[in-house]
Amino acid sequence: MTLEAFQQSEALTLGVELELQLVNTNHYDLTPYAPDMLALLKNAQVPGSIVPEVTTSMIEISTGICTDAQDAYQQLSVTRDALVKAADKLNIALSGGGTHPFQQWHQQRIYNKPRFKEITALYGYLTKQFTIFGQHVHVGCPSADAGLMMLHRLSRYIPHFIALSASSPFVQGQDTAFDSARLNSVFAFPLSGRAPFALHWEDFERYYDKMTATGVIHSMKDFYWDIRPKPEFGTVEVRVFDTPLSIERAVALAAYVQALGAWFLAEEPFEPSEDDYLVYTYNRFQACRFGLEGAYVDPATSESFGLREHILLTLQRIQSYVPENSKEALQQLRKTVNEGVNDASRLREAYAQAQQLPEVVRQSTLRFRY
């Protein structure tokens, strides 16, 4: 299958996808209600889409094309309200968070859809372990080459995205000591990690053709990269975010990507290079493990920063590129960075008080709901 052409999209438009947890309201474990939720929501009037995910305790929502944070918030609010109404009817609840704190992966069931069955046939238990929940942010790019340039520039900020969205400290009932343990599950897939260093679409097409010729991949969907181009939308898709606990946080993260993109397009502040990736995995690990308290090595200067410090510096730098309707969202983001609080720390605090993970999940469902 050849790579489809990179479609035109309006530069810096946004699209947000959220993978959400469906939980039982008695014991707050994951519950396989996706088919019933989707049946109830079949005719719901929502701006984007609501679709199944790989296991039956997950559901994915997405916005349509958004212009800014406020637009994304309005769209996600409508969808969230429709979801909550349907969940109330079924006596279940929805929650954000990159992992469910105590679900057992082997109890999950694959959603009955050919693609999910194929993935399971190939990856075995990894598919059920993929019951993890991420946020994807699409940002519109004016051309294919601009998209690849955007992709590699954004790669330097992957640790920011991870630390800011981190909401998966608990896995299988244990505190992992990671702020984002979700990405460890993604790493198990052979086609995960970073995209190949190609700055021109022809080069990327050549890479893609070679890969399809090997039979290893059949479409762009087979790549589980941290950031990947999405030619049919004309966007670049950032995929490292844990699903935050609230849609406000999800919108703020999308606004951050958009503002970075605006800065890149307006100033072209640096030229990406293959050497950027020398410290990529280290920086990524630091963000996953320590969240906002992690270290960050600048790939250009090899200078070491605290991640919080580097995020605040970046927020300062891109301030003039933040659209009016996104300013409040980024202000909130800056506030939480100043306080050193992300969703992982909120979850740990909830556990410290309740001492029971089901109660932590219940509090997460309330945070998503309101």
Q: What is the closest distance, in whole angstroms, from the C-beta atom of residue 128 to another protein in the complex?
A: 5
- Residue 124 or 190 with smaller CB distance to another protein: 124
80-139 positions binding another protein, by CB under 8 A? 88-91, 106-107, 109-110, 112, 120-121, 123-125, 127-128
**Residue 40 near another protein by CB under 8 A:** yes
Q: How many residues bind another protein (CB under 8 A)?
A: 36
Q: What is the closest distance, in whole angstroms, from the C-beta atom of residue 103 to another protein in the complex?
A: 12
- Residue 126 or 220 with smaller CB distance to another protein: 126
* Residues 280, 155: Cα–Cα separation, whole Å: 8
Helix (H, G, I), strand (E, B) or coil at 269: coil
Q: Which of 9, 13, 21, 31 binds another protein (CB under 8 A)?
A: 31
Q: What is the closest distance, in whole angstroms, from the C-beta atom of residue 243 to another protein in the complex?
A: 21
C-alpha distances in angstroms, 238 versus 23, 83, 228? Answer: 26, 24, 7
- Residue 196 or 358 with smaller CB distance to another protein: 358
Closest listed residue to residue 136, CA positions, set 169, 165, 171: 165
* Residues 283, 298: Cα–Cα separation, whole Å: 9
**Residue 284 near another protein by CB under 8 A:** no
Q: Which stretch binds another protein (CB under 8 A): 45-53, 144-152, 181-189, 350-358?
A: 350-358
**Residue 175 near another protein by CB under 8 A:** no
Q: What is the closest distance, in whole angstroms, from the C-beta atom of residue 101 to another protein in the complex?
A: 12
Q: Are 343 and 97 in contact (CB under 8 A)?
A: yes
* Residues 52, 36: Cα–Cα separation, whole Å: 11
Rounded-to-10 torsion of CA 268, 271, 272, 274: 170
Pairing label, strands 49-52, 58-62: antiparallel
Q: Are 296 and 313 in contact (CB under 8 A)?
A: no
Q: What is the closest distance, in whole angstroms, from the C-beta atom of residue 182 to another protein in the complex?
A: 19
* Residues 292, 294: Cα–Cα separation, whole Å: 5
**Residue 359 near another protein by CB under 8 A:** yes
Q: Which stretch binds another protein (CB under 8 A): 142-150, 245-253, 308-316, 358-366?
A: 358-366
Q: Are 211 and 217 in contact (CB under 8 A)?
A: yes
Q: What is the closest distance, in whole angstroms, from the C-beta atom of residue 23 to another protein in the complex?
A: 10
Determine whether 24 is exposed, middle or buried from the number of CB atoms within 10 Å of its CB (0-12, 13-18, 19+).
Answer: middle
Q: Where are the beta strands (DSSP E) in 121-248?
A: 134-140, 170-171, 174-175, 192-193, 224-225, 227-230, 235-242
Q: Which of 39, 216, 266, 313 binds another protein (CB under 8 A)?
A: 39
**Residue 326 near another protein by CB under 8 A:** no
Q: Which stretch binds another protein (CB under 8 A): 59-67, 200-208, 316-324, 354-362?
A: 354-362
User: Binding residues for another protein, per CB under 8 A?
Assistant: 24-28, 31-33, 35-36, 39-40, 56, 88-91, 106-107, 109-110, 112, 120-121, 123-125, 127-128, 354-356, 358-359, 361-362
